[in-house]
Every structure is written in C-alpha cells, then in structure tokens.
Structure 1
Amino acid sequence: MRKLILLSAGIFASYSPLAAAFDRNILPARCDVLDADMFMPQSLIAPAESEVNVDADDAQFVEQGTSVFTGNVEVSRGNQQLNANRATYNHLYQEVTAQGDVTLRDSEIKVSADQAEWSLQEDQGAMIDADYLLRQQNARGEASHVFRQGVRRTLLKNASYTTCTEEDEFWVLEADNVDLDHDEAVGRARDVVLRMGGLPVFYTPYISFPLNDERKSGFLVPSIGNSDETGFDVSTPYYWNIAPNQDATLTPRYMSDRGMMLNAEYRYLTSNNQGLFDVGYLGSDNLRRDGEVTNPYYQEDRKHFTWQQQGRFSDRWSNYIDYNYTSDRNYLEDFSGNLSLSSTTHLRRLAQVNYHGDIWRFAARAQGYQTLFLDVEEPYQMLPQLTLRGFLPDQALGLTYELDTEFTAFDSDDRVTGQRFDFEPAISLPWGNAGAFMTPRVAVKQSYYNLDNVDRQPAYQEENISRTVPIVSLDSGLVFERPLTFANKGYIQTLEPRAFYLYIPERNQDDIPLFDTTMRTFTMGSLFSHDRFTGPDRVGDANQLSLALTSRIIDATTGRQKFALTLGQIQYFSDRDVGLQTNQRRDDRSDSDYIAEVIAEITKNWTASGQIQWNPDADETTLSSVQLRYRGDNGAIFNIGHRYRREGELDTAYSNIIGLEQVDISASLPINDTWSVIGRYYRSLDDQRTLETLAGVQYNSCCWATRFVFRDYINDINSDDRNTAFFIEIQLKGLGSFGNSTDSLLQESIIGYE
C-alpha cells in the first residue's frame, strides 16, 4: 500500500514546482477551498515502519496466495490510507489491484480513481482515471493514466492542474503527456494548453520544469505594457541557472517607438561575497521626436552598467562596491518610468573596505560620480578617503573617550584640489538615572589642508592651512511621569524637558575650499547637533542654548506610545559669522525657528503625524508636513499628506532652498470580498501641476486575480512633458502572472501597500 501512495506523489511533482517557479502572489492571498478533513493528519512515524491494517466487510483467501477484500475496504499504514469497493492482494507476486471508488490519501494529497494496480516487487504500477487534490498548493487536477516506473520515472497521460474550484474553474492547465525524471529532478510536458474561461489562450509544444525547490533555466512570464516613452513595450526574460551560487536573467525588451533593447542581470554568491552585474544596451534609439521635442539621442547607442557587491573578508573586515554608469543624462528618465530615479543628478561610484572592532572602526573608500546634468556641479572625487573612529565608554571616574579622524584626497578637473586631515578627540562624563541625565563634553577639532591647483580659483591663495577649534557642550534633561485616566483606561503621561548648550569660538575659514560641506537641513535633530554643517570644511561658531519639551502618553498596560509632542527652539547669544561663502551675510537672529513634531495613534486604524517650523521674526512658516494614515483590518489603506517648504532667499541662512508645496493622496480600498480600487493623486500646488495620477481596479478570487492600472505622470520634475501608461496584469494562482507587473510601482506610490 505504501507504493500506491508514492505513485500519487508523481502528480504532485508534475505541477507544484512549476507553480513555485512562477507564482509571485502579487495580489491578496489565496482562499483555502480544500477541507482539511479530506487529508490524513501528520504522522512522525514513517509509513514503512508502521503496521498494515486492513478492514473490510468481507475477506476471502483464494488459491496461489491471493486475498480478496470486498465492501468498504480500508487499508491504512501510518498516515496513509486506501479506500476501495474491492481490493486483491497476491502475496506470492506482491501485486495489488483496487477497484471501484478507489481513494488514496495522506497528509498532503488525495487521489481518487476507478482502478489502481501495483507491483510491490518491481515498484511499478498504474492508476486509471485519477482525480487529485493537493493540500499545500490548494490545487486539484485529473489524469487519465498515471504510470509509475520504479522510483526513477513517472508518466502521466491527459493531465490537468488548477487551483480553482469545480464551480468556478476560470483556468486550467492541460498536457497530453508528462514525463517525470526523478533522478534528474526534471519534468517534461508536451502539448501544453492553458485554458481560461474554457478558451485556449496559450499553447506550447514542450515545457520543462524542476521537480524540487531548485532553480531551473527557462523562460519566465513576459511583461507587456504601453507608455508614451516607449510605445508598445514587451519584455521576455530568460532565466539561466548557471550554478547553485550563480544565475543570470537575460531580458530582450522590444519597444515599438525605440527598438530592441537587451538587459542582463548576473548574480553571484560565495562564502564571503554576494553581488550583481546589471547591464542594458539599446543598439539604436529609433525615436525621432519625444513629444514636441527632438530626441537628442536619435539613432544613437544607449546603455547602462551597474556593479554592486557586499561581503566580508573575516568577522570584522567587510567590503562594499557600488559602481553605476549610463550613456547619457536622459537614460533613467526614458527607461525607468520612476520620478525619483529620473530626477537623479549624480550616479555614485564607490569602493569601500570596513573594519568593525569593539573599540575602533576603520574605513577606506574611493568615491567618484558621473554627473548627468550639465548645469549641476560635479562633486569632488575622494581618492582615497580614510576614516578611523574610536569609542571607549565607562572608563575611570565614569569618563568616555572618543576619537574621530579622517584623511581625504580630493580631485577635480577644474577646481582647487588637495588633501585634508581632520583630527577630533573628545572626552565626556555621562551621568543619568530614570529621572534625569547630564553629559558634559569637551572636544578639539584640528584640521590640516594641503591645497593644489589654487590658481584655478583666485579666492583660495594659501596652499597650507591649519585650523584648531575647541568644542564645549552640555546636554541635560529630566523625565517626569504621572498616571492618567481617559475613557476608563490607564495611561502614563510624561513631561521631558531638555536643554543643550553648545559653545564653539569663531574662526575665519574663508580660505578653506568647500570640498564636501553643505548646510544641514534644520530639523529637530539640529537642536542637539554639534555642528550646523555636514562636513569638516566649515566649523560653525556657536554660543547657543537649545530648549525642547517632549510630552508622551503611553498605554499603562501595553507600554505602547499613543501620543508624542515635541517643541523646541535654539536661543543664540551671539551672531553666527561662519558661512559657506565669503560674501554670505551674517546670521544675526537671536533665535531659531520654532520646530514642533507630533505623532498620534488616534484609533487602532488611524494614525497622524506632523512637523512644522515657524519663523517668529518673519511671522511665517518655513517648513511643514502633515500625514494622516488609515490601515483597515480588511486590508484597506488610505493616506493623505501635505508638504510645504518656503523658498530660501540668497545670502541668508536659508540660501539655495527650493520652495515647494505638494499634496499627496493615495488609497487601496476594498469594495467587497473580491473587488478593490487603487489610486494616487500627487500634485504640486505652487506651480499648479499634477506630478502623478494613478487609478486602477483589481479583482481577487480563490484561484485567479487581475489588475488594471492607468498612470499619467512626469519623469522629470523640471520638464512639462507628460507620459501615460496602461498596465494589465493577470495572476493565475499557483501558476504565475501575465502582463506588466505593477508591484514596485504601487509600493512606491501607495504608502503601506504590499
């Protein structure tokens, strides 16, 4: 009886690996339409080690060692069971024949057939007119004949596979012949037809697939779509399983407006490293005009290259590589369809080695960029940059020692170059308990510059520059708590005042070039930062006191934060003389913007957050951001947000800030158990321009799902050219998806979408 059970596993092997290879579960999870009572419970004892029990209404012993069982025959062994109207067992030849309502089941599969025959001695047998159910795949199917030829091979005739119920069989996969080679763990099917709604929609004379979880070379599901950037767009990826630790995906992409592009991705994994190469090549761009503008790359070759790797030399030493190249500035805009990618101004090229010790951290990097826009200044190349950081807490008398050092050689084709050495030791004395903390800290920042090519920029004349700046700070805070009762529930309310004093004397730094230093964006973290600049080329003078007050409401039972509000401001006791440029006006404000942040869990499903910066001198808002989010128990998602940033004026502390005002609304809302709508409205209010409109509808049933999405968008925020695209995607659950995948698009457009 055990061999009959193994025979049915051939049907399971026929299609489940194919489903595993292609199924992406892009839409909500499938329904469980199979009753668990159809299958036997799991057993820890192997069937071969279990006794065979036979129960029947009547049993007869016939000549030559043959036993005949009739009437409600039930043969069980471990978690395997055979039911039939009649079963014959020949003890001499070890042959079993079962007839009439034959049912074979274990914990994973149930097979029903009119007749089953098996030779236990030769390990061969057959089942006629078999129907099967697969518990794990939630699938079913049929086969007119199933032939098992030992443990090495199984043949199926007129086989089918679907995850739909009999009442709603939207799709079914059919094959005239299926050959399962268990030694090679490969299945081969011939004359394969996919039927949807009873109509044949796809045919292939031959297909092969793995019989286990291992990857296998072969074509993947094609992607089909249409957009203004590319025209009719179809990609047909081919997956190449090179080795257990290497694979590649070759994707020919035909775009009716532009021509044939070839993309290739190669991935590798070793004991210490993992990475990928990604390349793309368009032999000749056939698009003559891009909207109303002539395509500057008409009939030119266009290409890209990416190499990314991360790995380890040992437990403490690691490496990272990120190299990117495109043939032209519009490549990402034309072929990515993503606003964030197409707005990229520089492509990074980085190679880095890191050491992470208990006290010391070391990094060596070489970094450069490819600048995509002519009107954007190219960043300096770092060839190389060496950093060493040390942190030694809880030493004698409770002192903590820090060391931050850096050596960088900067290179540029048309600006002053040179080497910078920065050395900053610090000592602090942290103290604290549950209700208070205080940390006095003293540091000295010592910098040395050796400049080259100073004749390129007359503003810099000195070749050797030294700068020494002491930094003194005192960070302190208190925490008060009190019980709070609201709506008959217990909470804890906290009141947390914090004060941070910072003193840095002014040093004239106009003769130092700006290699990698900019002004930090003013945020809540700026209140407690030791510097208002991002790099060491400028050390901002400071004589200031930051005051902040935070209040939280915490669920006394769960410890979950329900509400938090923080308000803070910096009080300046002297003007700030150090700026980025030599002609930058002195910042003589006596206080900074007020800055406030709030996070609130309104209900179980609704949350809100907001940030605002208010300039009390100008009586106006500098920056604000408000978000309201809903997460329903039924998978519903709704987001609405508003962002505002005041445009900065030149020669002020807010120089080079680009103003914006945007509203962003997105949602994924179920209509009923099967239908839902998705959408996004993303608009720039300051220039009255819609950045993206996305609308779609999706259907999800137990065995299939589909999604229709329309998108109107811009790729370049500095351009008025608009693009439209329409996506159609169909998922046959347990088999795969067809059409143009919209997973990444919806995850980027709708916050919280999965």
Structure 2
Amino acid sequence: MAPSAVQLPDAPDAASYPDAVVLPATGKTEQAVLESDRQSKTGSIYALDGDVVITYGSYRVEADHIDYNSDTGELNATGRVKVSGGPDQEIIHASRGTMNLTTETGRFYDVSGSVGVKPSAGGKSIYVSNNPFLFTGQVVVKTGPQDYQIYYGTLTSCQLAHPDWLLSAALFKVNSEQASAKNSVFHLFNLPFLYLPYVTHPVDVGGRQSGFMIPNPGNSSTKGLSLGEEYYWAINRSMDMRVGLDYYSLRGWAESGQFRYRGLGNDFLTARYSGLVDRGIVIGGVYVNQGGQDMLAAGRYDFDAHTRVAGNLEYLSSYTYREAFTENFNQAVSSDILSIVYGIHEANGYAESLRTDRYQGLKQVAVPATPTTPAIPEEQVKIFHVPSLDFDSTEHELGKSGLQWSMDDSFAGLSRVQPKFASGGLTQRIDLHPQIAYPVGLDGWHFRPSVGVRDTLYSRSQQPKTGPGPGAPIELPNGINRADVELGMDVRPPVLERTFDSASIEKLFHHDIRHTIEPDFTYRYVAGVNNFLKLLRFDDTDVVSDTNELEYGVTQRLFLRPVKNKPCAAKPEDNESIADQDWDTEPSTGRQDSAKPGCGSREWITWKVAQKYFIDQQFGGAVVDGRRNIFDTTLNFSGIAFLTEPRAISPLISRLRVRTSDHMDFEWDFDLDTGAKKFTSDNVLVDLHEGNIFSGLSYARLNAPGRFYTEGVSSAVSNFSQLRLLMGYGSPVKPGFSIAANVGLDLNQLTSNAGLVQYGTLQTSYNWNCCGLSVEYQKFELGSVRNESVERFNFTLVNIGTAGNLRRAMSLF
C-alpha cells in the first residue's frame, strides 16, 4: 500500500534552517526525510546545500550538495559524499556520486568504503559481520541492494588507510554471498606478494563458501617435504564436508576427510577419516611399513525429551599408524578404543536402553625383526557387547514406608578375542540386581542400611586357573550361575565445623575461614559367589566377588568468605543445620547453594583420605597368589590394581584439591600401599595463569601390578613416571609477540642417554592489526616407532583464512 499524500512545504528561508522535509517514496512504504542548511525546489527536484542529510529506510546519504528528485528517488551528490546503512551495514565515502534510493542502485567516484563495519563513538570501527571487508575504487557501481562492481580498486578486511594486507584488481564483483576478482595481486605490508588468477571472499553473515583451501606446505624429519590441499564443500546451512590430500616426499600419499552436521537441539553427526599409503621407512636397518587408516564417527538424534539414539564409532587399522602419524601426543600413546551405539528411553526415574559396543585394546606393541631376532606381531584384545539390553532405575519409595528400591538389570550377548584365546560365538548373560535401602536420620547422624541380591546366568564358563604361570583361559560349553546376597550400611556422623573470624585471621587471609570435618563409614558384605574363577571376564559385571569389608575415611574442607560480607555471616542457632546457614556453600556436600547468594564464600581446600579393611582376606576364595586380581570392590575404590595376594588393608588413598585463587589450582592424588611401603600411584597437577602469563605442571607416577599380569605374561609391574611442563606468555588474539613451550619427560630414563624427552614443542607468534604469523618446532621420540622433528607455521588473515600446516588444535595458547 502506498503512503498517503503529504503536502510539501515551500523551500525554507534562511531564518528557519536547519529543516527536515518528509517525502513519500514511489512504490515503497519508506519515506525520505530531507535535512539541510539551505533548500530550494523546482518541480519535483530539490536542491539541498550545507550539511545535507537524506534518510530513506535504512539508508542515510550525506553530502555538501544534493539534487534530489522526489518522484523517481534519484539523487546527484557532490562534496564529501557518504552513504551508510543497508542490509549489510554498508558505508561508502566518495567525492561525488549518483544514486536511486528506490532501486538502491548508484555510481560513485574516488571511493573508500566497507561492508559489515560500524564506526563506534570512540573513533574505532566495530565488526558487525563474521566476514567484513573494506574497499577502495576509482569507480564503484552499485547494481542492487547488495551488489557492487569495484573498478581499479582494492579489498581487505583490515582497517584503512594503512592495512596490513590487501588485494588489488581491475574489477571486483560483490554480491550478497561473496566478493570475487580475476587477475588480482595480494599485497602484504604494502608490497606485492602473490599473483592470484582468481580469488573469492565470503560476504554473507554465515561466511561459509565452497572452494579449494589455501595449500599447506610442511617439513618433517621422517615424512620429508610435504604439500597438502583440501576442498571445502558448504553443503547447506546445517552440513559441510572437507576432503584433503597430502604428499610426503619420504612416505607417500595421505588422505583425510571430515563431515559435519548440526541439527535442531542436540542433534548432530560428525565423521572423520585419515589414512596413509606408506612407502615404508628403514628403522635400525629394518624396513617398516607404518601405513593405516583411522575412522571416527559420532552422532546423536533426539526423538523427544525422553528418547534418543547416540553413538561414537572408531575403527583403527593399526596402533603403529596412529603412534607414528598423529599430531597429538595423548592420542599417540593411547592404547584403548571404545565404539558404542545405543538407544535409550528415560522417564520418571526409569531407563531402558539397547546398546552395542566394541572395545579394542593393545596388549603388545609390534616389534620389527632384526638380523638376530624374529619379529613380534602386534597383539590386541577385543570385547563385544552385541547387543546389551539394560534396565535401570533411580531410587523410588515404596509407598510411604521410607524404603527406597532400585534395580540394575541387563541381558547381553558377549564375545572376547585376545592372543591365544577367542570365545566360541556369543556368550549369553542375564544379570538381575534389585536393591532396597532405608535411609534414617537421627540427631545429625545419617544411616543407610541396604539389602540386595544379584543373580547372573552365563551360557558358557571357563576352566579354573589357579597358578601364577602363563596361559590363556580355556572356555567350556557349560553354563554357570552366579548368585549372591549383598548387605551394606553407610554411616555419616554429624559434620564437625568451626568458623575462624578473629581479627588476626582476617588480617592474614582477608577472609573468614570455615573448617569442616566429614567422617564416613561403609560396611559391605557379599556372600554366595563361590565360582569366581569359573567365570569368563568381559566387563565390570563379571568381577563381582565375595567380600566382608569396612571402608572408612574423612573429608576436610576449608571455605573462604570475604570479610566485607561479614554482615551476612550470622552465627547459626544451636538447632540450625549446616545446610541452613547463610554461607552459600554446603560443606557436607560441597554443593553451591544458589538460594543464598551474596555471601561470596568459596571452597578453598578439599582433602579426602580413605582406606578399606578386608575382614575376608581371601574374598571368598577368589584371590590367586602371584596374579593381578581385580574385583569390583577394589576397582570402585581406587582404580589402581593392588591385590596380588590375600591382604587385610587396602592402600591409603588421598585426594587433595586446592584453589589458592582465581589464578591458581593445585591437585595432589596418591595411593599409598602401606603394606608394600610404596606409592602405587602419585599424581600432581598445578595450573597457574595471571594476565598473559600461564604455566602448568603435571607429574604422574604408577608402580602397580602390570596390565598383562592377569595371564602371567609380559610385564609383571606397570612402572611409569612422567613429568609434563607448560609455560607461555600471550594468547592467540594478543597483539604483538607471544611464546609458549611444553615438554613431556619419561623420568624412568633419567639414568640413560635415550628417551628422556618423549615430546616437546616450542611455539611463537606475532599478531599485527589484522594478520598474524605463528611458527612451531615439535619433537616426538616414541621408542622405535617414531623419532621425528617437525617444523610448522601458519599465516593468518583475519576474517579470511590461514595458510600453513599449524592447525588451531595444535596451539599451546
């Protein structure tokens, strides 16, 4: 609908300016507003002089002089012309120009301008688009609302008038999706650097555009010189794909690919592939082929708020391939792969799920043959659940009795393959595990007695093996039933607490301090598992054993609260529980109480110490001397194996967390075997960050029964000691210079001359206004599989892309 007619006033006299005239637009609902110091009118032509401003819809046109035709919407502007607004926040500065406001077309001369850039009050510009660009041109023709042709001009994403980089060409074509040019020249720091026969730059807010990526060159001591290229396909707004090919002069061709999909809510799908057709390499005078493939897919789809399917699948053809060619150290030394697909329905505290999974773990690293020794092949263990139907529930009250019942049931088909053993087909297993508990509270004491039964039926069994010597399991076709009764009692005494708020404490720490002590005791009795050694092992369900034990521990916490908030820290009444006090952290659980904001207290130190006493040292006859014995009760307590013979006392576990400030965290966890008088595990983690400075330290020590000890072969002890260090200054977006380095040390090699440094990286970068350069040197030394030095770099153009082989995932910052 056209706007109603407006009576135009006569041209203003000098005494009435500045003045504004509102004009109806032809064929559109927008109205043109004319503002100027002086105006005159001849027919439908307005002559405007002196600080002229015409506002039309989202456009604003400014100039010293404008002739405007109110019937056609055409204008002719001269002197300090500026056009701003439009759908992409366009700004054009020109000496003169013509424009039709109705059709949003025009022609401008001696132009500098931008798209997706908005000036701020402080004189700086703000990028309001993911892909802004700035341009200059002798002539700029606006052929539509979002279409331009820039003649004899430049294009950049840097601030004018002295950009770090720009493209120059005889003609740039710009539309709502991209800017493109033929026969352009890339200039770096005002110097011509590279000729580009064809180049494009995304303009739309989404910023994704199909095309070939910038080639990635590189160099490695084991791969040689390399050159890679990738093609990126923006399939639609929800999906994209990337495929690439790299050539290594010493090794051959490597392929890579990635697919991504993001749907509504939590729905997603990603897939990644990497592979190498290896020509081989000579290590220690022996030819070795390290080629392989690694495929990974992960996804999720929600049918509704209660039902979903999800999965994470990986196939690795060779651990040697991953160790030799991955760019991530943690992945290079990882020896476990778990693939799982499941569907689950959850409602009212009940869950029914159907899953299929495959575990793949390395048991023995391949060793190539030498002139004097034969080759040792790689050995793996593979475990399958095909499938498993699980029924679980949270605790539900039986009527109003106070009794809480729950269940944990499953029906599974299982298979296991390992060196010298493969289960015959699928072993069926039915596991039923209902439990009932009765929580009771009395004068600050909390008791939770519980009773449970468990019945597990297997379609196959194994021949018991009691000796410590080598040997694989021997499967029997006979079915077997395992049944037990479980009794338990959890006891939580009242939390002991004290608040330190004296003047000396406040002066020393600038905080009030609250100290809490939380003891706990758990008694557990399981009886009926008299056939433990006859059971095939597939997962943690199969390591349930008889036990008669007492677990005891204590957790201490220190809470800090700023002194300035002291008015909200009233002393609790005698009958007030610790959860009702106005400290905003509940010491007995460590949970934040969002209902009591304002006090500002935070947890400073948490230290938990616990141990188990085994009344039944034989675990119902399940313990075998000289072998690593793993039961559910030991696994759930520590996670570190320690049981190689009957014993009464478990290692003492300690878990210490300290958050000294917002800039520093400290953690120290250890398992102290008081019987063997050694630390079976000892881990320290320190993280420090202050401004642009950051550092980290992690120490990991493991001295426990070996992973392969179960069959009595390979290493009898897992002896591992590693130190990792990280130090740096800067960040990826910091202007100027940044530097960072990390290193991983195998401390077991301190007495030898080889293998101390497992990996190390030194990375430096320098960021200018809108571009940056990063350089990295990386070293891997992973036994006979990999001894490699790599140099990487990248050169980044803001809002454009990155050239080089140093990827974001490798950054230390």
- Match of 2:397, SS? coil
Contact 2:279 2:289 in 1 (8 A): no
CA distance in 2, matches of 1:721, 1:225: 18
Q: Which moved more, 1:129-138 or 1:252-261?
A: 129-138
1:227 and 2:217 are equivalent in the alignment:
no
Residues 562-585 of structure 1: per-residue CA shift (max 9 Å, x gap): 221222222233313354758648
Instruction: Please report how far the alpha carbon of residue 113 of structure 1 lies from its aligned counterpart in structure 2 after TM superposition.
Output: 0.8
Instruction: Please report how far the alpha carbon of residue 221 of structure 1 lies from its aligned counterpart in structure 2 after TM superposition.
Output: 3.1
CA distance in 1, matches of 2:71, 2:271: 62
Instruction: Please report how far the alpha carbon of residue 369 of structure 1 lies from its aligned counterpart in structure 2 after TM superposition.
Output: 4.7
* 2:743 corresponding residue in structure 1: 681
One-letter code of the match for 1:252? Answer: L
1:703 and 2:693 are equivalent in the alignment:
no
**Counterparts in 2 of 1:292 and 1:700: CA distance versus 1, 3 Å:** farther
One-letter code of the match for 2:737? Answer: W
CA distance in 1, matches of 2:319, 2:67: 77
* 2:449 corresponding residue in structure 1: 440
1:203 and 2:203 are equivalent in the alignment:
no
> Of residues 573, 581, 584 in structure 1, which corresponds to 2:615?
573
Contact 1:415 1:453 in 2 (8 A): no
* 1:644 corresponding residue in structure 2: 701
Contact 2:521 2:550 in 1 (8 A): no
CA distance in 2, matches of 1:618, 1:652: 23
1:745 and 2:754 are equivalent in the alignment:
no
Instruction: Please report how far the alpha carbon of residue 387 of structure 1 lies from its aligned counterpart in structure 2 after TM superposition.
Output: 1.5
Instruction: Please report how far the alpha carbon of residue 647 of structure 1 lies from its aligned counterpart in structure 2 after TM superposition.
Output: 4.0
Instruction: Please report how far the alpha carbon of residue 232 of structure 1 lies from its aligned counterpart in structure 2 after TM superposition.
Output: 2.0
Q: Map 1:432-581; keep pairs closer than 5 Å.
A: 432=441, 435-451=444-460, 463-477=478-492, 478-485=494-501, 486=505, 487-505=509-527, 507-517=529-539, 534-555=540-561, 556=583, 557-577=599-619, 578-579=621-622
CA distance in 2, matches of 1:452, 1:572: 28
- Match of 1:592, SS? coil
Contact 1:461 1:511 in 2 (8 A): no
Instruction: Please report how far the alpha carbon of residue 444 of structure 1 lies from its aligned counterpart in structure 2 after TM superposition.
Output: 1.0
CA distance in 2, matches of 1:281, 1:589: 49
Instruction: Please report how far the alpha carbon of residue 695 of structure 1 lies from its aligned counterpart in structure 2 after TM superposition.
Output: 0.9
1:729 and 2:794 are equivalent in the alignment:
yes
TM-score in terms of structure 2 length: 0.75
Residues 20-69 of structure 1: per-residue CA shift (max 9 Å, x gap): xxxxxxxxxxxxxxxxxxxxxxxxxxx9656614122x3334x4543322
Residues 84-103 of structure 1: per-residue CA shift (max 9 Å, x gap): 22222234554211111212
CA distance in 1, matches of 2:171, 2:161: 26
**Counterparts in 2 of 1:195 and 1:94: CA distance versus 1, 3 Å:** same
1:351 and 2:341 are equivalent in the alignment:
yes
One-letter code of the match for 1:737? Answer: T
Contact 1:538 1:580 in 2 (8 A): no
**Counterparts in 2 of 1:445 and 1:145: CA distance versus 1, 3 Å:** same
**Counterparts in 2 of 1:643 and 1:93: CA distance versus 1, 3 Å:** closer
Instruction: Please report how far the alpha carbon of residue 630 of structure 1 lies from its aligned counterpart in structure 2 after TM superposition.
Output: 0.9
Instruction: Please report how far the alpha carbon of residue 666 of structure 1 lies from its aligned counterpart in structure 2 after TM superposition.
Output: 0.2
Q: Which moved more, 1:196-205 or 1:428-437?
A: 428-437
Instruction: Please report how far the alpha carbon of residue 368 of structure 1 lies from its aligned counterpart in structure 2 after TM superposition.
Output: 3.0
**Counterparts in 2 of 1:326 and 1:310: CA distance versus 1, 3 Å:** same
* 1:428 corresponding residue in structure 2: 437
Q: Map 1:654-665; keep pairs closer than 5 Å.
A: 657-665=717-725
Contact 1:484 1:491 in 2 (8 A): yes
- Match of 2:322, SS? helix
- Match of 1:574, SS? coil
One-letter code of the match for 1:204? Answer: L
One-letter code of the match for 2:788? Answer: N
Q: Which moved more, 1:401-410 or 1:263-272?
A: 263-272
Instruction: Please report how far the alpha carbon of residue 690 of structure 1 lies from its aligned counterpart in structure 2 after TM superposition.
Output: 0.9
Instruction: Please report how far the alpha carbon of residue 481 of structure 1 lies from its aligned counterpart in structure 2 after TM superposition.
Output: 2.9
Instruction: Please report how far the alpha carbon of residue 114 of structure 1 lies from its aligned counterpart in structure 2 after TM superposition.
Output: 0.3
CA distance in 2, matches of 1:243, 1:604: 42
One-letter code of the match for 1:479? Answer: V
One-letter code of the match for 1:497? Answer: P
- Match of 1:722, SS? strand
**Counterparts in 2 of 1:72 and 1:630: CA distance versus 1, 3 Å:** same
CA distance in 1, matches of 2:722, 2:253: 37
Contact 2:696 2:727 in 1 (8 A): yes
* 1:527 corresponding residue in structure 2: none
* 2:310 corresponding residue in structure 1: 320
- Unmatched 5+ residue regions in structure 2? 1-27, 119-125, 366-376, 465-470, 562-582, 584-598, 628-642, 751-755
Pairwise CA RMSD of aligned residues? 3.4
Instruction: Please report how far the alpha carbon of residue 683 of structure 1 lies from its aligned counterpart in structure 2 after TM superposition.
Output: 0.4
Contact 1:548 1:569 in 2 (8 A): no
Instruction: Please report how far the alpha carbon of residue 407 of structure 1 lies from its aligned counterpart in structure 2 after TM superposition.
Output: 2.0
RCO higher in 1 or 2 (8 Å CA, sep ≥ 6)?
1
- Match of 1:340, SS? helix
Q: Which moved more, 1:451-460 or 1:233-242?
A: 451-460
Contact 2:743 2:759 in 1 (8 A): yes
**Counterparts in 2 of 1:172 and 1:253: CA distance versus 1, 3 Å:** same
TM-score in terms of structure 1 length: 0.81
* 2:95 corresponding residue in structure 1: 114
- Match of 2:381, SS? coil
Instruction: Please report how far the alpha carbon of residue 424 of structure 1 lies from its aligned counterpart in structure 2 after TM superposition.
Output: 0.8
One-letter code of the match for 1:552? Answer: L
**Counterparts in 2 of 1:495 and 1:270: CA distance versus 1, 3 Å:** closer
Q: Map 1:214-363; keep pairs closer than 5 Å.
A: 214=206, 215-268=208-261, 274-282=268-276, 284-290=277-283, 292-296=285-289, 302-363=292-353
Contact 1:380 1:515 in 2 (8 A): no
Q: Percent identity?
A: 18
* 1:100 corresponding residue in structure 2: 79
One-letter code of the match for 2:804? Answer: G
One-letter code of the match for 2:513? Answer: Y
CA distance in 1, matches of 2:156, 2:104: 29
Contact 1:416 1:451 in 2 (8 A): no
CA distance in 2, matches of 1:622, 1:232: 45
- Match of 2:394, SS? strand
Contact 1:224 1:233 in 2 (8 A): yes
- Match of 2:139, SS? strand
CA distance in 2, matches of 1:543, 1:92: 95
CA distance in 1, matches of 2:139, 2:93: 12
One-letter code of the match for 2:198? Answer: Y
Contact 1:512 1:537 in 2 (8 A): no
Instruction: Please report how far the alpha carbon of residue 733 of structure 1 lies from its aligned counterpart in structure 2 after TM superposition.
Output: 1.4
**Counterparts in 2 of 1:424 and 1:263: CA distance versus 1, 3 Å:** same
Instruction: Please report how far the alpha carbon of residue 76 of structure 1 lies from its aligned counterpart in structure 2 after TM superposition.
Output: 4.4
- Unmatched 5+ residue regions in structure 1? 1-46, 518-533
CA distance in 2, matches of 1:713, 1:260: 21
CA distance in 2, matches of 1:559, 1:628: 23
Instruction: Please report how far the alpha carbon of residue 691 of structure 1 lies from its aligned counterpart in structure 2 after TM superposition.
Output: 1.2
> Of residues 178, 183, 190 in structure 1, which corresponds to 2:182?
190
Q: Which moved more, 1:593-602 or 1:91-100?
A: 91-100
Contact 1:731 1:738 in 2 (8 A): yes
Contact 1:554 1:563 in 2 (8 A): no
- Match of 2:542, SS? coil
- Match of 1:237, SS? strand
CA distance in 1, matches of 2:626, 2:661: 52
Instruction: Please report how far the alpha carbon of residue 240 of structure 1 lies from its aligned counterpart in structure 2 after TM superposition.
Output: 1.6
* 2:668 corresponding residue in structure 1: 610
1:59 and 2:124 are equivalent in the alignment:
no
Q: Which moved more, 1:490-499 or 1:156-165?
A: 156-165
Contact 2:215 2:227 in 1 (8 A): yes
Contact 1:158 1:174 in 2 (8 A): yes
Q: Which moved more, 1:560-569 or 1:338-347?
A: 338-347
* 2:18 corresponding residue in structure 1: none
* 1:68 corresponding residue in structure 2: 47
